[in-house]
Amino acid sequence: MQECYRQLSDSEVYLELAEMAFDAEEIKAKALHCVTAMDKLGLKANEKKWLVHYIGESSSVPAFYIMPKLHKEPVKGRPIVASCGWCTTPLSQWCANTLAPIVAQLPTVLKDTADLISRLKDVRFSVDANVLLSTADVESLYTSIPVGDAVEALAQTLREKRVGEKEAACIKLAVKFVLMNNYLTFDGKCYKQIKGLAMGTPLAPPLANIFMAHLEKKTFASRPGLCPVMYGRFLDDIFYVQVLRNIPYHILPKALGNMHPSIKLTFKSSPIELEMLDLVIYKAGDHLLHRVHQKALNKYLYISSRSCHPPHVMRGFIRTELIRYARNCSERLDFLRICRAFSSRLRERGFHPTFLRKVFATIEHGYHPPKGKRPTPVVFKIPYGGGPEVSALPGVIKEWYDACPSAFRVHVPKPIVCYTMGKNVYGLLVRAKVHT
């Protein structure tokens, strides 16, 4: 509670309102009016239908809560605005989907760990080069982005990517509406976010990426000699590699730290190794290698062997983790070490060594999941705990499929039966609203 009120007391970011000083139905009507204006600019008919439907269904005002950053010193809270039922969310989701192809083209943006690994393969330098690995963390990125500057960066990016005039106007109209209607509630009080992006709305990640990429482009364009050998950013986490020649190492961090008055960076550097995402990246001769990184706070609370999960689910989560290890470890020795530790932790959770040996034998170092388009499965979704008739359905479907002609089974994959999630302790206990 204290951390929530501490953050909400920041008058530069949040404005406390009188009780229900805004009309949710009026904002919903404005959202529908925004869709009408977008329709005149060329919004697709199916997109308009989707927006009108989900805006009409929206009802709840977003609730504010925090997620503790236990890995930070001192421990702070990550502000979350649960906006899934708010009337701006459909527009926010439309913006996120529309901007996704543009964000994918931004050269400094990392999509995921696999993208980072791909870029590391291209980094080369002389064996005796003075190489420095560096990371930078953007402090409170979402709430630090001025709304006006974000819209300006978006407009500039749309022009550079040669987005059509009407489509660009449509995007900017929706983005402005979402950013100007960031309302939230906490402990019976109402607030409006007047600075930054609300963490919880779908628009926030792509717009933050566009804003940061715009600043990075200007910084590197103004000082071409500062460009590092490799530079990548995953939202608020930056990784770059410098080969130090005649320029002191602190010049680039200083330039990045001055990208924008609101953007504050915390730097960490090492000539040997550094952590980025779930990798430890280290220098080896004239190139970079990597292995799995696991945070000190990781308690390795894997599914217990006594869980009611089906055997294929147990095998699946172990295989998925092993595939990640195989991808994230450049060297076979690193892969074997992390697998040995993983096996030991699973045995502590009650898994039998024979079962583990069979599953571990399916994944070797260097394993890559098969690529190519897989046939679309036929999925039967049935309610969890629906009674004996429902419980018998998987067996009935299996008997039916096995009795089908072989020519039919060649073209139609075996049906998959899944269950809707039943109520659990987490769903009953966790609430975004504070009950007093």
Neighbours of 237 (CB within 10 A): 16
Across 383-430, where does the E strand assignment appear? 416-419
Return the pLDDT at 371. Answer: 72
Assess whether 327 and 412 both reside in one domain.
no
**How many separate domains does the chain show?**
3
Q: Could you say which DSSP state residue 250 is in? A: T
Q: Is residue 171 part of a domain?
A: yes
Burial degree of 34 (CB within 10 A; 0-12, 13-18, 19+)? buried
Tell me what the mean pLDDT of segment 395-402 comes to: 82
8 Å CB contact between 69 and 79: no
8 Å CB contact between 131 and 243: yes
Q: Is residue 400 part of a domain?
A: yes
207: tokens are 């717009």
Assess whether 39 and 168 both reside in one domain.
yes
Assess whether 346 and 422 both reside in one domain.
no
Q: Count how many Cα atoms sit within 13 Å of the Cα of residue 300 in the half-sphere of its side chain.
A: 14
Task: Kindly give the pairing relationship between strand 416-419 and strand 131-138.
Answer: unpaired
Domain of residue 418: give its range: 379-428
pLDDT 10s digits, 141-162: 998 999 999 999 999 999 999 9
Q: Is the pLDDT of residue 418 over 70?
A: yes
Assess whether 385 and 358 both reside in one domain.
no
Q: Is 277 helix (H, G, I), strand (E, B) or coil?
A: coil
Q: Is residue 200 part of a domain?
A: yes
Q: Is residue 341 part of a domain?
A: yes
Distance between CA 217 and CA 171 in Å, rounded?
A: 22
215: tokens are 């600043």
Assess whether 394 and 365 both reside in one domain.
no
Q: Is the pLDDT of residue 80 over 70?
A: yes
Give the Cα-Cα-Cα angle 258, 263, 267 (nearest 5 degrees). Answer: 75
Tell me what the mean pLDDT of segment 119-135 comes to: 91
- Across-strand partners of 291? 280
Neighbours of 269 (CB within 10 A): 15
43: tokens are 């919004």
Q: Is residue 122 part of a domain?
A: no
Assess whether 67 and 160 both reside in one domain.
yes
Distance between CA 426 and CA 424 in Å, rounded?
A: 5
pLDDT-based confidence at 133, cuts 50/70/90?
very high
Q: Is the pLDDT of residue 70 over 70?
A: no
67: tokens are 């997620």
Q: Is residue 305 part of a domain?
A: yes
Assess whether 352 and 389 both reside in one domain.
no
Assess whether 316 and 172 both reside in one domain.
no
Distance between CA 258 and CA 367 in Å, rounded?
A: 43
8 Å CB contact between 58 and 86: yes
Q: Is the pLDDT of residue 436 over 50?
A: no
Q: Is residue 157 part of a domain?
A: yes
pLDDT 10s digits, 345-382: 999 999 999 999 999 999 998 887 777 667 777 787 77
Q: Is residue 159 part of a domain?
A: yes
Tell me what the mean pLDDT of segment 325-330 comes to: 94
b/e code 44-72 from CB counts within 10 Å (16+ = b): eeebeeebbeebeebeebbbbbbeeeeee
Assess whether 391 and 409 both reside in one domain.
yes
Assess whether 86 and 151 both reside in one domain.
yes
Assess whether 388 and 365 both reside in one domain.
no
In 3-state terms the chain splits into helix, strand, coil percentages (rounded to 5) of: 45, 20, 40
Return the pLDDT at 72. Answer: 66
Assess whether 155 and 197 both reside in one domain.
yes
Looking up tokens 């482009």 gives 217
Q: What percent of the chain has pLDDT over 90?
A: 46
Q: Is the pLDDT of residue 392 over 90?
A: no
Amino acid at position 178, single letter: V
